[in-house]
Amino acid sequence: MSGKVGLGMLRNLTAGAALALASFAPPAAADVIEFSWNLTGNSAPTVHERTFTSVQNSPSSILTARAYATGNDDGTGNIVARNLGLYSGGLGVSGGSDSTSSPNHSLDNVGANDLILFEFDAGGYNPRSITIGWKQGDADIQIWVGGPGSAGLNLATACAGGNCDVSELAAIGFSVPALEYADLAVNTPRLLSTTLTGRYLLVAPRFEGGAIPGGDEDYMKISSLVAMVSRVPEPATASLVLIALAALGRSRKARKPARARAI
């Protein structure tokens, strides 16, 4: 057998070395990325669910919003699906006892408590701030963070027995009690002072008789949302392959036989 290494064998060895380097490369540090979503527009409340792409083009993140309402304005009763309207002031909820006219097409607590469930495209999101683009009277909110890790949560059917109410949120993974924030100002981001993370953010106006002082009637529309998440960048396999190809070129050059000297 010849002592020389064939070109094909050298290529195979180089490719194997590249794969080995990729396997033993140190893991990349996670990047903390802040995403924001614009939730304003002009579309009638005839659908239960809407999706939004983050303001950032690269990377981007998809946010899904679904509308619900409790049976009563004190937060009791089964949670049922409602329609999600898109307005210049932001997202509102209608259906059931809520008409599509103002102010009842907003996120309110009159007759029943409206709920908006936000679903991020993966787990581990930390909601940072929320902004309302319109309100009438008071604008007190409460939020829950967490939920299951899987996609497609339906608050109307996710609990034991096929129905859900607010008292069962902890059983499906939400942090309880709710975090409460009083009297949001229009077009002013309200920092959500929480380190909680999850795939879901549930937002509702204050339940009647809740811990936040003030008037019972809250009407508002949610115009934007900001959240942060840690993401690990893709491993730099392409760089390792380039290094391996460069090594191949040097090996070929080193093994090229010298020309015979003329006598």
- Express each pLDDT in 10-57 by its tens digit: 455 444 544 444 455 555 577 999 999 999 999 888 899 999 999 998
**pLDDT surpasses 80 at 144:** yes
Cα(56)–Cα(62) distance, rounded to whole angstroms?
Answer: 11
SS3 202: strand
Break the chain into its structural domains and give their ranges. Answer: 31-231
Q: Which of 156, 158, 180, 157 is nearest to 171 (CA)?
A: 158
**Do the Cβ atoms of 142 and 206 come closer than 8 Å?**
yes
Overall average pLDDT of the 169-175 stretch: 96
Cα(132)–Cα(127) distance, rounded to whole angstroms?
Answer: 15
- Identify the pLDDT of residue 235: 55
Overall average pLDDT of the 218-243 stretch: 74
- Identify the pLDDT of residue 27: 54
Total Cβ atoms within 10 A of residue 233: 10
**pLDDT surpasses 80 at 84:** yes
Overall average pLDDT of the 122-142 stretch: 96
Q: Which of 90, 199, 109, 222 is nearest to 150 (CA)?
A: 199
Burial 8-41 (b: 16+ CB within 10 A, else e): eebeeebeeebeeebeeeeeeeeeeeebbbebbe
Q: Hey, which of 149-153, 211-215, 252-256 has the most confident mean pLDDT?
A: 149-153
Average pLDDT along the chain = 83
Report the amino acid identity of residue 136: Q
**pLDDT surpasses 60 at 222:** yes
Cα(221)–Cα(214) distance, rounded to whole angstroms?
Answer: 19
**DSSP structural state of residue 161:** G
**Do the Cβ atoms of 116 and 52 come closer than 8 Å?**
no
Residue bearing the bigger pLDDT, 187 or 43 = 187
**Do the Cβ atoms of 104 and 110 come closer than 8 Å?**
yes
- Identify the pLDDT of residue 255: 55
Distances (CA, A) of 103 to 5, 234, 250, 261: 80, 47, 74, 96
